[in-house]
Structure 1
Amino acid sequence: MLSSFFTIFIFIFIFLFASPLVHAWRPWPPSSNINNNNNNNNTSSHYPFSDSKKYEGSSEFVQLRYHMGPVLTSNITVHIIWYGTWNRNQKKIIRDFVNSVSDTTVPHPSISAWWRTVQLYTDQTGGNISKSVILGEEKNDRLYSHGKSLTRLSLQGVIKSAITASTRPLPINPRSGLYLLLTADDVYVQDFCTSVCGFHYFTFPSLVGYTLPYAWVGNSGKLCPGYCAYPFAMPVYLPPSNRKALKSPNGDVGVDGMISVIAHEMAELASNPLANAWYAGQDPTFPVEIADLCEGIYGTGGGGSYTGQLLDAHDGATYNINGIRRKFLVQWVWSHVLNYCTGPNALDH
């Protein structure tokens, strides 16, 4: 979908009405504690809300189709716009994530192995999504050029300012550029914290001058960590007994929460950059895309209110994927080859 948020009602619907159709889920005992020889860490189960049916999608329930549009087959360059105030460590966490996507030297389970599922998607010529994802140019907008309350259209204005700046403008790359607009924790964006944590779309030539695939993701650390930085923060409506958050792997709840949303949007931008390639549903303005199908699933058995089997680092932090010098928690994506959600930390890999 063009928005990334915790669509719990979808999982409740599947659980209540579609569970007889689920044949791709792989049940694993939630209390199991299995050694991971590659990382010398343990898997663990996390029930943030309650013990619920565990599933990983249903190939019968999902009607994912290709609609003949382009996917990002050329080497992908991620250009970042830092809107507002960001500290050096926050930027480094996000840069390390982007740089890890194509790094095949990272120990298993790695981000590059996670991206291999995204690579399975092709265009009408049979060309796969590129395995090469690199960090491109960056632009700082420290002075909040469009204010601290942004609409979806004003986000496109921020991008236009970045590519038309008089000094060090961002390169204009409609074919393989991926423009990542990140707003600081004191910036409110339309629908942020109420229905979205991030979304992707493309810029309008009438506003920006070019059609550029872009994604916006907000830092929810101050505004709504319990909504957008879950499971590193818990919703306030939960009873205290169910409000125990997991420890974030990089010590910044807002940014660690952003990483999974960034991954979600990058996967969907690569597979559906102009809203006419890979998605389920009949409405291209409200599609269900390859990451939406796995919303809230981070490990084997995940689904509903259950994150799935995750990994525990030596310092007590929770993660599921290794990156360059860091660990991250990233949701799984749908494989149209396997017909279920998958990730490199799956226990049956």
Structure 2
Amino acid sequence: MGIVENGIVENGVANGFGVGVWVRRMGSSRMGLANGVALVSAKPIQTQQSQLFQYHNGHLLTGNVSIDIIWYGKFASFQRAIITDFILSLSSSAPTKAQPNVATWWNIIEKYYNLVEPKISKVVPSLGNQIMDPNYSIGKRLNINQIERLASKGSQKHAINVVLTSADVAVQGFCSRCGTHGYLESELVNKQKHRYKFAYIWVGNAETQCPSNCSWPFNLTIYGPKTPPLVAPNNDVGMDGMVMNLASLLAGTATNPFGNGYYQGPKEEPLEAVSACPGMYGMGASPGFPGKLLVDVKTGASYNANGVNGRKYLLPPLYDPSTKTC
């Protein structure tokens, strides 16, 4: 198992993040890894049944992990609440008894950990610090290096730093990808002179830039049959789309944080915990059709998970490694 120091373990995993050879990883809204970049699909595609979804003997995030949010650009308070309530809802201790709920969805992640030997504790996310940058400190057109600089403003130990960019911010590669996940080397050093690695996520608000790609099924898609768009559960197409993409990236970050965890297909462009089941939000889903969903009788909004404070969310499906189904 190795020697554990301050939540770090060599050649293994501990209550923080595994430590190994440092390679930068980033993801996008097309879950996978391409050129060292983890991707998350912006369009519904078919699962590659011929390629086995498996564990590649790498590190998983484990133990208590805070989710720090860097709000870049202008977000109204009600928009921020949509995201923070989602993160609070991930905890099984959250006061949400209505089923199905967000915590039950997240608990599927535990099945990934149960298959790892030696046994490790699952990741337990909680809402951490929130950093506001409403004045666009580095402009409205950002590249990936600038996203990483923003991510570094959050905690660099036992944390996932989430950079959220507002609808008027253009990010390099946005729309071909709706968000990314990856990791960076921290400035912190433990007693063995090893640097920590911390995970980060970026998600963009696609309401005005590419809603058909990154906010489907709340907008018409350019892929597959043209089914009518659904009503967003929180009445904000951009933010509800961000929740879907953030959920996908959180699952991928937990189970494949460094490119050698759980994934399907080639390492250069793998499918992860959510992207292995693209576009399947409910029973009977097919390309261009999200499936049968719950509908709020008051608002007509479609959803598949309840959250804290009476929230409703549409979450992507998680691949179940024990049943090998979505």
TM interval, shorter chain, is 0.7 to 0.9
Cα distance 1:83–1:271, how it changes in 2: closer, same or farther (>3 A)?
Answer: same
Letter in 2 for 1:297: M
Q: Which residue of 2 aligns with 1:5?
A: 41
How many residues get paired? 277
Match of 2:305 among 312, 318, 321: 321
From the superposition, tell whether residues 111 and 62 of structure 1 become closer, same or farther in structure 2 (CA, over 3 Å): farther
RMSD: 2.1
The residue type paired with residue 118 of structure 1 is: I
User: Corresponding residue for 2:11?
Assistant: none
- Give the equivalent residue in structure 2 for 1:183: 165
Which residue of the partner structure matches residue 222 of structure 1? 208
2:197 aligned partner:
211
Provide the C-alpha distance between the structure 2 equivalents of 1:310 and 1:295, rounded to a whole number of angstroms.
Answer: 16
TM score, norm. by length of structure 1: 0.74
TM-score of the aligned structures, taking structure 2 as reference length: 0.79
Aligned 8 A contact 2:102 2:307 in 1: yes
* Contact 1:6–1:295, Cα closer than 8 Å, also in 2: no
Q: Is the CA contact (8 Å cut-off) linking 1:6 and 1:296 kept in structure 2?
A: no
The aligned counterpart of 1:140 is 132
1:225 and 1:338 map into 2 onto residues whose CA distance is 33
Is contact 1:78–1:133 with CA below 8 Å preserved after alignment?
A: yes
Query: Do 1:197 and 1:218's aligned partners in 2 also have CA atoms closer than 8 Å?
Result: yes
Unaligned runs of 5+ in 2: 1-31, 33-37, 188-194
For residues 238 and 269 of structure 1, do their structure 2 counterparts lie closer, same or farther at Cα, with a shift above 3 Å needed?
A: closer
| Residues in 1 aligned to 2:230 and 2:281: alpha-carbon distance in whole angstroms | 13
Cα distance change, pair 196–143 in 1 and its aligned pair in 2 (3 A): same
User: Which structure 1 residue ranges, 5 or more long, are not aligned?
Assistant: 19-57, 163-169, 342-349
The residue identity in structure 1 corresponding to 2:169 is V
Residue 290 in 1 paired to residue 273 in 2?
A: yes
The residue type paired with residue 149 of structure 1 is R
Residue equivalent to 2:15: none
Cα 1:181–1:301 change in 2 (3 A) is same
State, as a whole percentage, how many aligned pairs show the same letter: 34
Distance between the aligned counterparts of 1:111 and 1:150, measured in 2?
A: 32
Q: What are the Cα deviations for residues 307-326 of structure 1, in whole angstroms up to 9, with x where unaligned?
A: 11100001211111100120
Q: Which runs of 4+ in 1 moved over 4 A?
A: 236-239
Q: By percentage of residues, which structure has more helix? A: 1
Q: For residue 100 of structure 2, what is the aligned residue in structure 1?
A: 109
Q: Which among 150, 155, 169 is matched to residue 147 of structure 2?
A: 155
2:88 corresponds to which residue?
99
Paired residues of 1:81 and 1:138 also in contact (CA < 8 A):
yes
